[in-house]
Amino acid sequence: MSKQSGVSHDPRLDEPVNGRIEGDGPTDGAGPAQPARAELTGPSVAEISDEQQYVSMLYGRLDELRKQADERLGYALRNTGGTQQERSQRDSTVQMYTEQLERLGAVEQGLCFGRLDLDSGTRRYIGRIGMFADADEFEPVLLDWRAPAARPFYLATAATPEGVRRRRHIRTRDRAVVGLDDEVLDLAVAGRAGGGTGGLTGEAALLAAVNASRTGRMIDIVRTIQAEQDQVIRADLDGVLVVQGGPGTGKTAVALHRAAYLLYTHRQILSTRGVLLVGPNATFLRYISQVLPALAETGVLLRTVGELFPGVTATRAEPAEVAELKGRPEMVRVLAAAIQDRQRVPDEPLEISIERDSIVLDPATVVAARDRARRSGRPHNLARPLFDIEIIHALADQLAERIGADPLGGENLLDEADLAEFRRELRTEPEVLAVLDWLWPVLTPQQVVAGLFASTDRLAVAGADLSEAERASLWREPRGGWTPADVPLLDEAAELLGEDDRAAQARVARQRQAEIEYAEGVLEIASGSKSIDFEDEAGAEDGMLDVTDLLVADRLAERQEDGEQLTTAERAAADRGWAFGHVIVDEAQELSPMAWRVLMRRSPSRSMTLVGDVAQTGALAGASSWHGVLESYVGDRWRLEELTVSYRTPAEIMAVAAKVLAEIDPTLTTPRAVRGTGEQPWDVQVDEDALPDRLVEAIRAEVAKVGDGRVGVIVPAGRGAVLGLAATEAVPGLALGDAPELESRVVLLTVAQAKGLEFDSVLVVDPDRIVAESPRGRNDLYVALTRATQRLGVLRVG
């Protein structure tokens, strides 16, 4: 077996070797990418010691900032008295310093990781956050990686050095500098070294990162972002950006770093409107959950689509075919019909008893009222008052005709005022109200969706366009909870029903108030004015409420409603109608058309980043083209960026995956692998009966091979239970089930669960069955084969 990469790797090493790293030769297709070569020089002991001094100074500064924030927080917490407004301001201060302390705490590891030496002689240190020296607030001692001035760290090459003479990667462990990797960006030197312009930056640090043992949690790539990734991360906020890339090209990493970049660059707008990041399942969200905090950003809301309907937890399971059906756009019509089906017309005239009398409501009157209410175009619940008006008017007219009839045959004796009085009375008649509720009930989304699926009659009416088998597949017991595919239906039903928009109005009022407070602060309006204690209600007593009183009253109302100071992310999570400043969707190819409708509603400004790979689509309702997904929302007004290098999957494994990809679509190509490992994937044929034992043997062997790394066992869904049982008995600590603990040394999971994850070594069990289990089975196999960073073994059955 030949080594394709000149980089030797010991899985126990998580730090690269200092000095020059040999690059790979040029290759095609799945072969390793060709690194851009600049001159790499080895640092001297003196250089390490100089950097240590600087880095120690930075940590000293970090400690000072923490101490400052801690003291200010303590001061704010002790300051408990004052007016309501003062207490409210204190709460905001407490929140601000708490978040600041969290951020400063999160950047402890790898605070500073880079240095640029410019032609001008200036040095710039690059790190996780920006810091100024205490004495000179204009000269940063550390540049935030997201600042424009830090960008050459990721982009400069020997061919386009951007004024950079040398780029240095600084490796630290805790607070100690443990290594430096230097690149001199000099075209003449690079040419002599035989380097091309393949486009990798900081290759020693990069190769160390991609070869490091996995921990079961994703880590950030801030030290080694590559130029094509940087382009995506720093793309404009506006519009829809699609990032297409094969397995391991860093789509998830890029999506997360983009969130951090956007929050840094557009802090003002995004901290109030929020950023939503949507992932395919809860396990995946746990896998990525540490990345943003390590980038000092805690304000991004991470959710699956199934978690986007406040108050609903969607954990019920259902067959993939039913989820696919629920994800079809036709379901909008089905739901609309289900709601119309709840607007009843009696078969016979209804006799309604009212005080000492009775009236009759005939079907034709109901039909006329129903049609007028429908014609208003209002959603069902909001059209109900119109329906009520029509019916009440008809009933009042009927009463007036009877009571006011002139016995002598003249004109009706009652006037408009009498009619109005009748209407008022009718509105309070319990039997009238009960009839109105029956004819046009006010509904919740839950009532509509659960009621539809629990009734064959309702399904027959609303699902008239579906086949009988499809309708039958939708039927289910009303109890038992919600599935993830139900959530877009609930959201759609909420739209069709129309909502009590008090929450939205309160939000608008709060935003307006925040603006007023801001202006107030700037202009110092309040500083000269009287101190107002809302509790003494002086303003209310003399009837002279001024603007400040109203502000205080409003703030009080908000605080009562919230119960406490909520962050933007918390408020957004609780509000179905929240419009996010930016929405990022990972594994976007998996979403159904109905799920897209939910996300588009959460992003009325269409400021979105969608990352995915249409060749990896596993969900039956998922996408096979980005055009198909986006056409009805933005036409062709979306931008496409492609990522072309796989940092996860070594060349040897990518070659195996390439064969499966060719079967999916011969026009598709795999990304170029950034390196080879020299480890050839292996493949064994196993008898059905021997499978559990052979699997256990293979797991044990792989555990021994990966050192402190992780082993992933990917099984067909239909074999999960049996193999899981055998493996848990034989391998202590093996994780499996609905929410497997990814930090375990061995994790057994299905392809759907493994989406987006990675392991040092992967065992794929029974690939034929994985393919046979789903119409998108080949895509699933492609996903399974591309989860390993080092080793791949395949156990074929039969």
Residues annotated in a binding site for ATP: 245-252
Closest approach of ligand ATP to the CB of residue 146, in Å: 15
Is residue 36 a contact residue for ligand ATP (CB under 6 A)? no
Return the residue of 758, 760, 766, 773 that touches ligand ATP, per CB under 6 A: 758
Return the residue of 229, 343, 609, 753 that touches ligand ATP, per CB under 6 A: 229
Element (H, E) at 206: helix 203-211
| Cα separation, 553 vs 560, whole angstroms | 11
Closest approach of ligand ATP to the CB of residue 580, in Å: 21
Q: Which is nearer to ligand ATP, 247 or 740 (CB)?
A: 247
Closest approach of ligand ATP to the CB of residue 199, in Å: 12
Build a one-symbol-per-residue string for 578-607: x at contacts with ligand ATP by CB under 6 A, - elsewhere: ------------------------------
Ranges within 417-446 binding ligand ATP (CB under 6 A): none
Is residue 232 a contact residue for ligand ATP (CB under 6 A)? no
- Indicate the pairing of strand 759-765 with strand 788-797: parallel
Q: Are 687 and 798 in contact (CB under 8 A)?
A: yes
Cα 14 to chain centroid, rounded: 30
Is residue 277 a contact residue for ligand ATP (CB under 6 A)? no
Is residue 777 a contact residue for ligand ATP (CB under 6 A)? no
Return the residue of 35, 195, 216, 250 that touches ligand ATP, per CB under 6 A: 250
Is residue 245 a contact residue for ligand ATP (CB under 6 A)? yes
Q: Are 622 and 775 in contact (CB under 8 A)?
A: no
Q: Which is nearer to ligand ATP, 140 or 246 (CB)?
A: 246
Closest approach of ligand ATP to the CB of residue 208, in Å: 9
Q: Which is nearer to ligand ATP, 216 or 716 (CB)?
A: 216
Q: Alpha-carbon dihedral of residues 20, 25, 31, 33, nearest 10 degrees?
A: 50
By CB under 6 A, which span of 20-28, 222-230, 406-414, 563-571 interacts with ligand ATP?
222-230
Ranges within 177-216 binding ligand ATP (CB under 6 A): 206, 209-210
Q: Which structure tokens are listed for 333?
A: 């019509």
By CB under 6 A, which span of 249-257, 481-489, 503-511, 597-605 interacts with ligand ATP?
249-257
Closest approach of ligand ATP to the CB of residue 249, in Å: 4
- Phi/psi class of residue 82: alpha, beta or left (left: φ > 0; alpha: ψ in -120 to 50)? left
- Indicate the pairing of strand 275-278 with strand 582-585: parallel
By CB under 6 A, which span of 242-250, 352-360, 521-529, 738-746 interacts with ligand ATP?
242-250
Is residue 62 a contact residue for ligand ATP (CB under 6 A)? no
Per DSSP, the residues of 68-87 read HHHHHHHHHHH---S-HHHH
Closest approach of ligand ATP to the CB of residue 206, in Å: 5
Closest approach of ligand ATP to the CB of residue 245, in Å: 5
Q: Which is nearer to ligand ATP, 220 or 388 (CB)?
A: 220
Residue with tokens 């640090």: 205
- Indicate the pairing of strand 164-173 with strand 176-184: antiparallel
Residue with tokens 């309070």: 428
Q: 176-181 long-range CB contacts below 8 Å, 24 or more apart?
A: 176/52, 177/48, 177/51, 177/52, 177/55, 178/15, 179/15, 179/16, 179/18, 179/43, 179/48, 180/18, 180/43, 180/47, 180/48, 180/51, 181/16, 181/18, 181/19, 181/40, 181/205
Residue with tokens 């003002």: 268
Is residue 253 a contact residue for ligand ATP (CB under 6 A)? yes
By CB under 6 A, which span of 39-47, 75-83, 224-232, 508-516 interacts with ligand ATP?
224-232
Question: Phi first, then psi: what are they for 411, rounded to 5°?
Answer: -70, 155
Is residue 252 a contact residue for ligand ATP (CB under 6 A)? yes
Is residue 613 a contact residue for ligand ATP (CB under 6 A)? yes
Closest approach of ligand ATP to the CB of residue 504, in Å: 35
Give the SS3 label for residue 131: strand
Is residue 221 a contact residue for ligand ATP (CB under 6 A)? yes
Q: Is 225 exposed, middle or buried (0-12, 13-18, 19+ CB in 10 A)?
A: buried
Of 643, 698, 695, 702, the closest CA to residue 670 belongs to 643
Element (H, E) at 166: strand 164-173
Is residue 756 a contact residue for ligand ATP (CB under 6 A)? yes
Give the SS3 label for residue 643: strand
Total number of residues that touch ligand ATP (CB under 6 A): 23
Binding site for ligand ATP (CB under 6 A): 206, 209-210, 221, 224-226, 229, 245, 247-253, 613, 616, 647-648, 756, 758, 786
